Chain A
Amino acid sequence: MREIGDSIQDRFRIRFAIRLALRESSYGFRRIGVFMGSIALGVAALVSVHSFRADIARSVQDEADVLMGGNARFSHDRPMPPPIAAVIDSLRETGAGLARVTTTMSMVSAPRSMEVRLLQVRALDKGYPFYGDVTTSPVNRWGAHLDPDRALVDPAILTQFGIQVGDTLVLGLSRLEIAGTVNGLPTDLAYQTAIGPRVHISQATLERSGLLANDGLARFEILLQLPDIEDRRGIRERYQDVLQVESVNYSLAEEQAERLSNGVRYLARFLGLVGLGALLLGGVGVASAINVYIREKRQAIAVLRCLGAGQATAFVAYLIQAAMLGLLGAMAGVAIGVLVQQQLPTLLGNIMPVVVTTRFSPTSALAGLGIGLWVSLIFALIPLLNIREIPPLAALRHDFEERNQRWDRAKLLAYGLLGLSIVGLCVIEAPNAEIGLGFALALALAGGLIVLVGSGLRLVARRYVPASSSYPVRQGVSNLFRPQNQTVSVMLALGLGAFLIGLITDVGGNIQGDLTRSFSTGRANMLLFDVQPDQVDGVSGLLPEATRQYLEATPLVSSRIVSINGRSVEDLLDEPTSDESPRRFALGREYRNTYRERLGVAEEVLAGEWWDDAQVPGDSGLQRTDGLAHVSLEEGIADALRVTLGDTITWDVSGIRIPSIVLSLRRVDWNQLEPNFYAIFEPGVLEQAPQTVVILAQVHNDAQRARVQRELIERYPNVSALDFSRVQEVIENVLVRVRQAVGFLGIFTVLAGAIVLIGSLATSRVQRMREGALLKTLGAKRAQVLTVLFAEYFALGLVATGSGLILALGTGTILVPWIFEITYSPQIGALSLIWLGVVGITVGVGFLGSIDLIQRPPLPVLRQTPE
């Protein structure tokens, strides 16, 4: 060990290098410390996002039991089958706390205000929730819902119905007295009550109301109080098989908490990418700073070499300086990041699953420190390697020509390491590896192209700036390329910053546009179901004239499966279960099928063929001759039934047997408000079968919606109406919040770019000062000097930001349809604003950084020796 240490000491003279670095550090800090601000900003963004992720995970896990209302839960879409009921009984005997939660939807009316709405009804047992406190108004009313014929309701119900505590609600066969409102149920997500206000009653009340008799919409849950985590895990292990056979879901509070926070964590990971973008810009800043610094240190390094410092020693001395600066920047970044961390929960406000408490996260801080240091070093490495090429002879000869920068192994290695680090960081920060790789690729392409444009600009500035343009303009443009200016780095930083911001804006705008289209304007916001076929015209007639053209009516035909490929369901159910046998829930359930000509918007055929326009029913010889109706199955249900293309399924539709053949398999995006189906029949088969119709309508006026609902209940009491508009509002709110958060972090990117610009101004200051003085001595007026500056920074901002934004548009064009699968529409307006904004910042910073130079009298400036 000692020998290795000694040989390293011999080779690098580490001790000397450290001492030199320490002695030079304050100078280095003054000279290029500004650039470290860009690293600090990047680290701040990352640390805040990492800490925020930790905050979410911790807050959610802390609240896991409270969020579930128990420690674990069984849930099923029918009453618990006997084998599971037996399991639950045995648990009761061991002393575990148990509480049933049965949730269903029902039309509820308020006699006093004559309002009727479809509401969620939850029947609870005593004990629920096992954890957390319920707040009610009047206070301490939780428990009143357990009394016979009394209910507690979410406050929204009172306002929607225009009634008060003490009024009556009619629910099925029961009349219930409203005993109070539930203002805070600890199991609720912040936005849940908006989606569906609920009526809370007891299990006994539910039974008396007769509601569950014919219901497919109900959900049956049993919550367990089992504080010992081994106990609840044990249940899964012990009863795994029966749970699977019966398709009963069993989940632990911690798992649910994990799932609930998935969305926000996914979002936080995207935020991480934005932060990383800012940090990488900081890296560009460091590279450019070190480049200037090394150039300035050329003489000093040559002298060191004369005095006997080896290449490695000189390199290490400045590597240490870069590391110290990077560490300083990263430390400042951590401090800022911790401040920013406090802001993120506020920014994301009510879209969090729980109240997120912020806490200093040492791992995030350390990670930020480490990543910041690493990025500084890896970007500094390439310019630092040029130190090796400074010959000692340069000390004797000032104008010693620069050797051509050579490409040796160390440099290739440094570039390789840089590339790998960027890719690695992107992959670590991104929600998944593909997105990370894509992000890295986009950055690399954008960076490469911006550098190309920068070099192109240099050529153009040299050759083509019209000689006819005024002198100050020509001077300004050619000033762009003085060596100290680091124009290409500044272009890269500004351009990449614009690219990132532009991409965020462009993609974000498209996603928001798409979601807005799916969920609000131009999309249905009312769902009317249980409409009888002969009522369709009448019901549509209730809708405002202008909205009728958007109306969509879909028939629902209740069916059961009788046999699959000639084997009856009874036989299949009797068989011992194996992996190949059809799943029980899929065989036994009631299906609501439909028939239609066209594929829905949320559907995609995976295999087989769809009956398209060319195949008008009855035309195809195949389907009529074999007497089989064509049917399309959803992929998941086909898998559960263990059927595929060409298999036959016989359905029972109100006592009539309808044999069918699977003609296609579909993938369905279930995250849509439109009704979707497991099985879709071709037209011409089910038209005469008993059916009900679901109508989707778009009524955007609140008053009109309320009127439609009232008239429906008067004229068509059998029709239920579901109002989505609140859901849409909630989704809008989520989107706005998300965009705010992303935009907030995006600002870090622009600031990081601006700091690189400021840094480059600081390093080229002396030279610009001399030029300005010279111009003035030569008789230029102040206005002309200003024009020179303006031309310089305007050209810089215009080209850098322009190329960044154009690249963002290009990337958006590819990304939006490909990854997000939505049609792309460029956000020209927003991007133009960004363009103007960043050009403004560039010119502004350029001016502010130079203004005092212009005001100095020329002589003292010229007398100073150049650095």
Chain B
Amino acid sequence: MIVAEGLQKSYTSGGRPLPVLQCIDVEVAQEAFVSIVGPSGSGKTTLLGLLAGLDQPTAGRVYLDGVDIFGLSEDGRAEFRSQNVGFVFQTFHLLPTLTAIENVLVPLELKGDYKGAYDQAEALLIRVGLGHRTGHYPAQLSGGEQQRVALARAFANKPKILFADEPTGNLDQATGEGIIEMLEELNQVSRTTLILVTHDMALAERAHRVIGLVGGRIASDRPGSVIR
């Protein structure tokens, strides 16, 4: 369950405030799959960052699972993320110095789960079809494979909410679809709330709900059109 109330964000540029997000009020139900779409510069990434507690809003509040995350300290939010939140990024952002399985281990170990962590990580990698590549470094994997490792990592701590910012932006159509399918599947299995930012309307329509941003405001909010 995500609740945003009166969320605003503006940057100062050249001494003048530059509003990027204006009064966003939104509620996302538990286990929902929501996609956020909009033209470049409309504030999608900014919104995602705020919902995940990565940045401070100029005004407004965000409740994740009933917790007012901006009421927490910086480290409190980090702690909260490690327990409840997963991320998938456009450029994968695997830690280049760690192998695939070590990358998946990061959230587990951060959470303090050491027992059985390795088996768990391996199981996740098998699940995304990379059981045979566990010891490989990101540089030795293709983009699609890297994003699958990132997916495994995102689900490792069994997050209640998963944020994905253009996870398919750097992949070809077919690979991108494969990733989204995997996301959906993991979402269903682990009953995660899924927030997906994307430019790909075909992918966006697979969500339960599609929110359109324009100029920092919610311009549309409707169900996804793909019938399952």
Q: How far is the CB of A413 from chain B (nearest CB, A)?
A: 19
A308 close to B110 (CB less than 8 A)? yes
Give A16 to B98 CA distance when docked, in angstroms: 13
For the side of the interface on B, what is the size category? Answer: 35 or more
A311 close to B87 (CB less than 8 A)? no
Residue B79 CB within 8 A of the other chain: yes
Q: How far is the CB of B222 from chain A (nearest CB, A)?
A: 25
Q: B-contacting residues of A (Cβ < 8 Å)?
A: 9, 11, 13, 15-16, 19-20, 23-24, 27-28, 299-300, 303-313, 391-393, 395-398
- B109's partner among A15, A306, A393 (CB-CB below 8 A) is A15
Give A307 to B150 CA distance when docked, in angstroms: 11
Q: How far is the CB of B91 from chain A (nearest CB, A)?
A: 8
- B110's partner among A16, A312, A395, A396 (CB-CB below 8 A) is A16
B107 close to A307 (CB less than 8 A)? yes
Residue B134 CB within 8 A of the other chain: no
Residue B172 CB within 8 A of the other chain: no
Q: How far is the CB of B97 from chain A (nearest CB, A)?
A: 4
Taking CB atoms, residues of chain A closer than 8 Å to B114 are 15
B89 close to A309 (CB less than 8 A)? no
Residue B83 CB within 8 A of the other chain: yes
Give A398 to B79 CA distance when docked, in angstroms: 24
Beta-carbon nearest neighbor of A308 in chain B: B82
Residue B180 CB within 8 A of the other chain: no
12 new A-B contacts at CB < 8 Å, known A306-B87, A310-B79: A19-B109, A300-B96, A307-B106, A308-B79, A308-B110, A308-B111, A309-B78, A310-B74, A391-B55, A393-B49, A396-B49, A396-B165
A27 close to B54 (CB less than 8 A)? no
Taking CB atoms, residues of chain A closer than 8 Å to B80 are 308
A308-B82, A308-B83 given; A303·B95 CB < 8 A: yes
Taking CB atoms, residues of chain A closer than 8 Å to B45 are 396-397
Give A23 to B96 CA distance when docked, in angstroms: 11
Beta-carbon nearest neighbor of A307 in chain B: B107
Q: How far is the CB of B157 from chain A (nearest CB, A)?
A: 8
A13-B112, A308-B79, A311-B74 given; A303·B93 CB < 8 A: yes
> Can you list 21 A-B contacts (CB < 8 A)?
A9-B112, A13-B110, A16-B109, A16-B110, A16-B112, A20-B106, A24-B97, A303-B87, A303-B89, A303-B93, A304-B106, A305-B78, A307-B81, A307-B106, A307-B110, A310-B74, A310-B79, A311-B74, A313-B78, A392-B78, A392-B81
Interface string of B72-108 (1 = CB under 8 A from A): 0011001111110101010101011110001001110
Q: How far is the CB of B140 from chain A (nearest CB, A)?
A: 14
Beta-carbon nearest neighbor of A25 in chain B: B97
B54 close to A309 (CB less than 8 A)? no
Give A155 to B173 CA distance when docked, in angstroms: 98
A23-B97, A300-B97 given; A306·B52 CB < 8 A: yes
A307 close to B82 (CB less than 8 A)? yes
B75 close to A310 (CB less than 8 A)? yes
- A312's partner among B54, B75, B93 (CB-CB below 8 A) is B75
B78 close to A308 (CB less than 8 A)? yes
Give A301 to B199 CA distance when docked, in angstroms: 27
In the A-B complex, list the 6 residue pairs whose CB atoms are closest, starting with the nearest.
A308-B82, A310-B75, A308-B81, A27-B97, A392-B54, A310-B78
Residue B48 CB within 8 A of the other chain: yes
Give A216 to B181 CA distance when docked, in angstroms: 109
Interface string of B155-166 (1 = CB under 8 A from A): 001000000010
B83, B95, B102, B109 interface centre (most CB from chain A within 10 Å)? B95
Q: How far is the CB of A28 from chain B (nearest CB, A)?
A: 8
Q: How far is the CB of A582 from chain B (nearest CB, A)?
A: 76
Taking CB atoms, residues of chain B closer than 8 Å to A305 are 54, 78
Q: How far is the CB of A760 from chain B (nearest CB, A)?
A: 21
Give A306 to B107 CA distance when docked, in angstroms: 10
Beta-carbon nearest neighbor of B109 in chain A: A16
Taking CB atoms, residues of chain B closer than 8 Å to A303 are 87, 89, 93, 95
Q: How far is the CB of A390 from chain B (nearest CB, A)?
A: 12
Taking CB atoms, residues of chain A closer than 8 Å to B96 are 27, 300
B55 close to A393 (CB less than 8 A)? yes
Taking CB atoms, residues of chain B closer than 8 Å to A9 are 112
Q: Which of B121-154 contact A (CB under 8 A)?
A: 153
A300-B96, A391-B55, A393-B54 given; A309·B48 CB < 8 A: no
Taking CB atoms, residues of chain A closer than 8 Å to B87 are 303, 306-307, 395
A392-B54, A393-B55, A396-B54 given; A306·B81 CB < 8 A: yes
Give A15 to B74 CA distance when docked, in angstroms: 21
Give A398 to B91 CA distance when docked, in angstroms: 10
B85 close to A308 (CB less than 8 A)? yes
A24 close to B110 (CB less than 8 A)? no
Beta-carbon nearest neighbor of A306 in chain B: B87
B54, B79, B81, B89 interface centre (most CB from chain A within 10 Å)? B54
Taking CB atoms, residues of chain A closer than 8 Å to B55 are 391, 393
Give A391 to B74 CA distance when docked, in angstroms: 10
Give A396 to B80 CA distance when docked, in angstroms: 18
Taking CB atoms, residues of chain B closer than 8 Å to A397 are 45, 49
Taking CB atoms, residues of chain B closer than 8 Å to A310 are 74-75, 78-79
A391 close to B106 (CB less than 8 A)? no
Give A23 to B100 CA distance when docked, in angstroms: 12
Q: How far is the CB of A309 from chain B (nearest CB, A)?
A: 6
Q: How far is the CB of B166 from chain A (nearest CB, A)?
A: 10
Taking CB atoms, residues of chain A closer than 8 Å to B83 are 308
Taking CB atoms, residues of chain B closer than 8 Å to A300 are 93, 95-97
Taking CB atoms, residues of chain A closer than 8 Å to B85 are 308
Taking CB atoms, residues of chain A closer than 8 Å to B93 are 299-300, 303, 395
Give A19 to B109 CA distance when docked, in angstroms: 9
Give A123 to B80 CA distance when docked, in angstroms: 90
A23 close to B98 (CB less than 8 A)? yes
Give A13 to B78 CA distance when docked, in angstroms: 12
Give A307 to B75 CA distance when docked, in angstroms: 12
Beta-carbon nearest neighbor of A388 in chain B: B74
Give A392 to B49 CA distance when docked, in angstroms: 9
Taking CB atoms, residues of chain A closer than 8 Å to B110 are 13, 16, 304, 307-309, 313
Taking CB atoms, residues of chain B closer than 8 Å to A15 are 109, 112, 114
Give A309 to B157 CA distance when docked, in angstroms: 13
Q: How far is the CB of A31 from chain B (nearest CB, A)?
A: 9
Give A13 to B107 CA distance when docked, in angstroms: 12
Taking CB atoms, residues of chain B closer than 8 Å to A308 are 78-83, 85, 107, 110-111, 157
Give A305 to B55 CA distance when docked, in angstroms: 12
Beta-carbon nearest neighbor of A9 in chain B: B112
Give A307 to B85 CA distance when docked, in angstroms: 7
Taking CB atoms, residues of chain B closer than 8 Å to A398 are 91
